[in-house]
Structure 1
Amino acid sequence: MQLQFELLAADGRIESIQVGVDYCIVAGWAGRDRAAIEHHILELAELGVPRPSDVPLYYRIATNQLVQSERVQVVGPHSSGEAEVLVFQHNGELCVGLASDHTDRALEAHSVALSKQVCVKPVATTAWRFSDVAAHWDELILRAWITEDGQEVAYQDGAVASLLHPLDLIKKHFQQDQLPEKTVMTCGTVATIGTIRPASQFTMELFDPRLNRRIRHTYEIEFLPEIA
């Protein structure tokens, strides 16, 4: 599996890179604040999702679920996106991107792992070097908007400071300080504004106020009929 990125340096230089992916992990329940984790658990409990056995949890996802298109197809009307930081290695250097942990909410009540596996994971095509943002990591902001009834409305807006640091997530799962090559990992999400709900379009953004730049990606969702 290959992902393509425009790697944007702090000084504005752009490098086109290809990243091979053999291993994909979605880190769930990844908040720093246990109260915030509990809030998200209760959000999902309203949809019938059982409490996690541990926090954080690491879900293995098939790499063929990673896509960089602007249109995705899902079965049934029950799935929704989640804006998440994406991290990966390139030539021995940690890089930062953006992905949506698009999830089937109806299936989530049966199995969180399966609900994540059945939906593709849209990935933005811009990335940054982690070294360019490491010193002000907690200032980064995750945002998302959805289109409802033809109107774009705010759906997520929160600081990555509310989530476990990616280096901590890497160390806990891989028992080492460096993410392995050909591995990508999403690093958790922030709470929704209002209820978790499907939409015809999802826009996600990672904003860096210190360097005044953003990674942004929009994708449309086509709901395929759910045939029994």
Structure 2
Amino acid sequence: MKSVVLRKDGASHEIALTWDVCVAAGYTGRDQASVRAHVEELRKIGVPAPESVPSMYWVDPERVASSRLLWVVGGSTSGEGEVFLARCAGGNLHVTVASDHTDRSLETVSVAKAKQVCSKTVGSVCWRVDDVREHWDSIELRVWNDGKLYQEGALGKMLPPERLFELACGDAPMPGGRIALFSGTLPVLGEGLIYGSHYVLSLKDPVLEREIRHEYSVRVLPDRN
């Protein structure tokens, strides 16, 4: 996938992020109270508690792109603000903002299938993780869902990249393959999940004073037998 990397000195250039397999990590909060909050959000719509925490949900690596329009089946899908981590050909790890869009109706049957059925969208601009590693925990993730602030929090609330990749490597369906990773999400603000039609994703670095933003819309196809 082509991406533009913005360096901390202000320089930028195009790179190719590459991967063989892709995983959407789930229930990755460092604070167990946050994890329980997310489990409760999903329990309210009939999703059973996970078998293990954190959880690894492998998704089609071909359906990850910098899309600004997602086509879904039925009106019960919603986005999850996350960060996406992948390496370039030179082996450097990069990060951008992303949404693990998920079918909430199918999630009551199988979380893995619910994540697989929706394409994933990630930002077209990224940062080198080495440029932000020392202040990773202070980077801010926000999501607006149909104009309303929907999710908000610092990356320090989730497991760090090194731990996420360690977990993914131990569960990978293709040993030795290059892994790309969705970080897991933050609890939503307010009363619960919203099945919105337009999402704005923001990853803000308060130390280097810069931001990655990505927007996408959702088009609903009829759910027919």
TM over 0.5: yes
Local SS of the residue matching 1:114: helix
Q: CA RMSD in A?
A: 1.2
Say which is worse superposed, 180-189 or 48-57, in terms of deviation.
180-189
Q: Is the 8 A contact 2:19 2:87 kept in 1?
A: no
Query: Is 1:94 aligned with 2:93?
Result: yes
* Structure 1 unmatched runs, 5+: none
Q: 1:181 to 1:18 in 2, by over 3 A?
A: farther
Pick from 190, 194, 197: which aligns with 1:197?
194
Q: What do the CA deviations read for 1:22-76 (whole angstroms, capped 9, x no partner)?
A: 2101110101011110010001000100000111111110112212121111000
* Helix, strand or coil at the partner of 1:53: coil
Q: Is the 8 A contact 1:75 1:225 kept in 2?
A: yes
Q: What is the CA–CA distance in structure 1 between the aligned matches of 2:136 and 2:24, rounded to whole Å? A: 20
What residue ranges of structure 2 are gaps of 5+ in the alignment? 171-175
Counterpart code for 2:6: L
Q: Aligned partners of 1:143, 1:181: CA distance in 2, in Å?
A: 31
The alignment partner of 2:5 has SS state of strand
Q: Which residue of 1 aligns with 2:15?
A: 17
Report the CA distance between 1:97 and its aligned residue: 1.4
Distance in 2 between residues matched to 1:79 and 1:206, nearest whole Å: 22
Distance in 2 between residues matched to 1:227 and 1:161, nearest whole Å: 42
State how far apart, in whole Å, the 1-side matches of 2:18 and 2:167 are: 23
- Matched residue of 1:193: which SS? coil
Q: Report the secondary structure of 1:58's partner residue.
A: strand
What pairs with 1:147-162 in structure 2 (closer than 5 Å)? 147=146, 152-162=147-157
1:52 alignment partner in structure 2: 50
Percent of residue pairs bearing the same amino acid type: 39
Change (3 A) 1:131 1:181: farther
Could you tell me how far apart the structure 1 residues matched to 2:87 and 2:17 are? 8
* Match in the other structure for 1:163: 158
- Asked if the contact 1:141–1:157 (Cα under 8 Å) also holds between the matched residues in 2, the reply is yes
SS of the aligned residue for 2:208 comes to coil
Q: Aligned equivalents of 1:125 and 1:20: distance in 2?
A: 14
SS at match of 1:227: coil
Counterpart position of 2:173:
none
- How many residues in Structure 1 have an aligned counterpart in Structure 2? 218
What is aligned with 2:206? 209
Match of 1:30 in 2: 28
1:20 counterpart letter in structure 2: T
Aligned ranges 1:51-200 → 2 under 5 Å: 51-90=49-88, 91-147=90-146, 152-175=147-170, 182-194=178-190, 195-200=192-197
In structure 1, C-alpha distance between the alignment counterparts of 2:102 and 2:195, rounded to whole Å = 10
**Displacement, 1:20?**
2.6
Q: Distance in 1 between matches of 2:178 and 2:167?
A: 18
Residue range with higher mean Cα deviation, 61-70 or 8-17: 61-70
| Mapped contact 1:89–1:181 kept (Cα < 8 A) | no
SS in 1 for 2:181: strand
TM-fit CA distance, 1:138: 0.7
